[in-house]
């Protein structure tokens, strides 16, 4: 997974959250994003099918 | 560009005390509570360090005895554009969190971070940002329902925010929130775990995103909560 995301230009930061996975939650579950704002979608360069 | 801002909850009162999803292992926690608590603290500090190291602003609110899953504030509600809905949890074990997060949201409003807080009626179920994920690159919301959030709760939250929503039905209690099996990425790609979705849910994902921009998680990725990222 890390390599596949890296190939697309994403930086993946590993954090060991095993004690929380024992409860069924991970990094996203442990945060609530407060600053998201609605904005128009990006002009995505979507590859042809 | 502004820094992303996150709310987290201190894990001082975190424990695995009950079972409301197939991942929960109270026995593993109880085998060494002190060691488990230390490990949780180290893991939490690692997450905070990673967020701050990536340039995020982090606000940490205290935990509360008797509400161990408060450490998962993605389920507190949905915050978008300075407006918020508070969660309505399916299980009594988590319903105790509702007044705690309501007070937290009221503090955020007093501090100017929120303008409006919407409370759903009692008979609606919606478990917050874990089931309602804004995808900025695509300009719409991905919303999960089934195991926890019900369709009525999803529709009410969608109506409150008034934005385009792609609703995805989840197929299994193992992936009980959308954020356990679906992660929209800033470049427009979607990381997802196909077995977590009903056939109709999968069809909607694949109709919305070109195949070359879909990244399938493996069983191992999903079991390690790699998709539960941000």
Inter-chain residue contact A19 with B40, CB threshold 8 Å: yes
CA distance A3 to chain B (A): 12
DSSP conformation letters of B174-198: GG-SGGGTEEE-TTS-EEE-GGGB-
pLDDT value of residue A43: 75
Inter-chain residue contact B185 with A10, CB threshold 8 Å: yes
In chain B, which residues have their Cβ closer than 8 Å to the Cβ of A4? 215
What's the Cα-to-Cα distance from B160 to each of B38, B75, B104, B118, B165, rounded to whole Å?
Answer: 41, 17, 20, 8, 12
Q: Kindly state whether A19 is in contact with chain B, defined as any CB-CB distance less than 8 angstroms.
A: yes
Inter-chain residue contact A15 with B187, CB threshold 8 Å: no
What string of pLDDT tens digits covers the 230 residues of chain B?
688 999 999 999 999 999 999 999 999 999 999 999 999 999 999 999 999 999 999 999 999 999 999 999 999 999 999 999 999 999 999 999 999 999 999 999 999 999 999 999 988 999 999 999 999 999 999 999 999 999 999 999 999 999 999 999 999 999 999 999 999 999 999 999 999 999 999 999 999 999 999 999 999 999 999 999 87
- Residue A32 has its nearest CB partner, among B6, B140, B187, at B6
């Amino acid at each position: 997974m890390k390599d596949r995301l890296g190939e697309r230009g994403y930086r993946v930061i590993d954090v060991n959250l095993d004690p929380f996975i024992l409860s069924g939650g991970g990094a996203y579950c442990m945060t609530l994003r407060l600053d998201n704002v609605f904005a128009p979608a990006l002009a995505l360069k979507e590859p042809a099918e | 560009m502004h820094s992303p801002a996150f709310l987290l909850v201190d894990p001082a009162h975190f424990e695995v005390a009950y079972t409301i999803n197939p991942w929960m292992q109270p026995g593993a926690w109880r085998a060494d509570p002190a060691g488990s608590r230390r490990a949780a603290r180290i893991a939490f500090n690692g997450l905070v360090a990673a967020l701050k190291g990536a340039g995020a602003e982090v606000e940490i609110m205290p935990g509360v005895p008797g509400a161990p899953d408060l450490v998962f504030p993605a389920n507190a509600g949905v915050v978008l554009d300075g407006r918020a809905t508070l969660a309505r949890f399916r299980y009594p074990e988590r319903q105790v969190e509702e007044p705690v997060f309501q007070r937290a949201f009221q503090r955020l409003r007093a501090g100017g971070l929120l303008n409006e807080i919407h409370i759903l009626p009692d008979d609606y179920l919606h478990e917050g940002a874990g089931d309602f994920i804004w995808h900025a690159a695509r300009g719409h919301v991905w919303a999960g329902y089934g195991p926890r959030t019900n369709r009525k709760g999803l529709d009410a939250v969608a109506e409150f925010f008034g934005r385009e929503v792609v609703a995805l039905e989840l197929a299994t209690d193992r992936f009980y929130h959308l954020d356990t099996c679906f992660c929209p990425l800033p470049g427009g790609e979607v990381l997802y775990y196909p077995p977590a979705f009903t056939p109709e849910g999968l069809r909607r994902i694949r109709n919305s995103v070109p195949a070359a921009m879909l990244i399938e998680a493996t069983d191992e990725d999903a079991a390690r909560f790699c998709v539960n990222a941000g």
